[in-house]
């Protein structure tokens, strides 16, 4: 029986990964930050499920090296999935130091613990397409040069490169999953996809009147989170450690994503900036207006982020199945279903 430790188990990816590992028969340990309010809604169902005896949560923090070391020495997981840290790119401009401590320095501390651990362990590190930032070419693959354009991307690039260093210098089985955006109904509500699908669902249910967004022309390679966590597990079952791009290979704009989500719920959508005459005409038909608020713009936007996951396909037999507008439709349906008894 394998034992895994998930850092970031209460997040979107951590919760799906815990489900998949428990279904595979793993014993799963998760690190949970102590907070005055419980933040375990995404894994609550696992704590009452038949396999709940195989799930143990530990209070701890990535930045608390001693407690992390203690948990590792006691539980001796063969696989560690490092998914924790401040993951909002826009917010990383506001809190760059916390972002770099949690995503950068804390990863280095973890690597240092693993270097000294007296038994073999495999590490999955959640790197990100944001390490490429403003890449010279699209699509990007594992050989594309790092060129981050925000504090979050800088921290992830630092941590991803250190995983490579520890792999080469100390033979650590460390893998970087260079994941592009991956979404689901468990996505945090301040990421653009969830903001859109939850907004559409609430408008449909008469609980909200408009959605305020930033850059509608921004394009992202959006996939389906449960598929991406499968790739994380597969990476640690491979014979040798490596880095893998996880992506759909297709990008769509925020505007297109929103159009798909709203259409799925039978709502007509008008975009601010469509021109006054067109906007007035659409409003007359009862269309919902999607408004722009400059506060959601970023000082610098990442560009042309679209991934080539050919290596994951050939080495892990993994490919993304759910792509951009389909992700939007599934999320919108799930959000509306959750609002309507």
214 contacts ligand G4F (rule: CB under 6 A): yes
Bridge pairing between strands 219-220 and 252-253:
antiparallel
C-alpha atoms less than 13 angstroms from C-alpha of 234 in its C-beta half-sphere: 20
128 contacts ligand G4F (rule: CB under 6 A): yes
d(CA 225, CA 246): 11
User: Judged by CB under 6 A, which of 220, 233, 255, 329 binds ligand G4F?
Assistant: 220
Site string for ligand G4F, 11-50 (x = CB under 6 A): ----------------------------------------
Instruction: Work out how close the CB of 254 gets to ligand G4F at its nearest, in angstroms, rounded to a whole number.
Output: 5
- Interface stretch with ligand G4F, choices 29-37, 167-175, 188-196, 326-334 (CB under 6 A): 188-196
- Interface stretch with ligand G4F, choices 62-70, 139-147, 296-304, 306-314 (CB under 6 A): 296-304
d(CA 336, CA 201): 5
d(CA 238, CA 27): 20
Dihedral sign, CA of 86, 191, 158, 8?
positive
Q: Is 133 left (phi over 0), alpha (psi -120 to 50) or beta?
A: left
d(CA 31, CA 94): 26
User: Judged by CB under 6 A, which of 79, 102, 130, 308 binds ligand G4F?
Assistant: 130
191 contacts ligand G4F (rule: CB under 6 A): yes
273 contacts ligand G4F (rule: CB under 6 A): no
User: Judged by CB under 6 A, which of 77, 90, 104, 177 binds ligand G4F?
Assistant: 90
Q: Which of 253, 297, 303 is nearest to 134 (CA)?
A: 303
Joined together, the tokens standing for residue 315 give 């080495």
296 contacts ligand G4F (rule: CB under 6 A): yes
User: Judged by CB under 6 A, which of 125, 195, 204, 255 binds ligand G4F?
Assistant: 195
- 96 or 214: whose CB is closer to ligand G4F? 214
Q: For residue 180, give every residue at least 6 positions away whose Cβ sits within 8 Å of its Cβ, in sequence order, or none.
A: 129, 220, 221, 222, 223, 245, 246, 247, 248, 305, 306, 307
243 contacts ligand G4F (rule: CB under 6 A): no
87 contacts ligand G4F (rule: CB under 6 A): yes
Q: Binding residues for ligand G4F, per CB under 6 A? A: 87, 89-90, 128-130, 179-181, 190-193, 195, 213-215, 218, 220, 254, 296, 298, 301
């Amino acid at each position: 029986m394998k034992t895994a430790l998930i850092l970031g188990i209460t997040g979107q990816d951590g919760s799906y990964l815990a489900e998949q590992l428990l279904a595979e028969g793993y014993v799963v340990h998760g690190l949970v930050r102590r907070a005055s309010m419980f933040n375990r809604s995404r894994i609550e169902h696992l704590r009452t499920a038949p396999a709940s005896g195989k799930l143990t949560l530990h209070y701890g923090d990535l930045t608390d090296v001693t407690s992390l070391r203690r948990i590792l020495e006691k539980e001796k997981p063969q696989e560690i999935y490092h998914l924790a840290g401040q993951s909002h790119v826009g917010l990383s401009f506001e809190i760059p130091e916390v972002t770099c401590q949690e995503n950068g320095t804390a990863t280095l501390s973890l690597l240092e613990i693993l270097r000294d651990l007296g038994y073999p362990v495999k590490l999955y590190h959640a790197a990100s397409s944001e390490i490429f930032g403003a890449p010279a070419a699209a699509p990007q693959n594992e050989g594309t040069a790092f060129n981050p354009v925000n504090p979050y991307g800088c921290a992830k690039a630092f941590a991803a490169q250190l995983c490579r260093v520890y792999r080469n210098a100390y033979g650590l089985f460390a893998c970087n999953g260079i994941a592009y955006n991956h979404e689901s109904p468990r996505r945090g509500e301040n990421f653009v996809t969830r903001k859109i699908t939850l907004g559409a669902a609430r408008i449909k249910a008469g609980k909200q009147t408009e959605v305020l967004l930033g850059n509608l022309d921004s394009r992202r390679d959006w996939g389906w989170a449960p598929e991406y966590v499968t790739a994380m597990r597969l990476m640690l079952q491979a014979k040798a450690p490596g880095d893998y791009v996880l992506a759909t290979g297709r990008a769509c704009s925020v505007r297109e994503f929103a159009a798909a989500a709203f259409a799925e719920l039978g709502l007509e959508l008008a975009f601010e900036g469509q021109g006054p005459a067109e906007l007035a005409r659409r409003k007359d038909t009862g269309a919902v207006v999607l408004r722009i608020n400059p506060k959601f713009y970023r000082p610098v936007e990442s560009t042309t982020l679209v991934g080539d996951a050919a290596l994951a396909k050939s080495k892990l037999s993994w490919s993304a199945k759910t792509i951009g507008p389909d992700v939007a439709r599934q999320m919108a349906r799930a959000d509306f279903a959750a609002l309507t008894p």
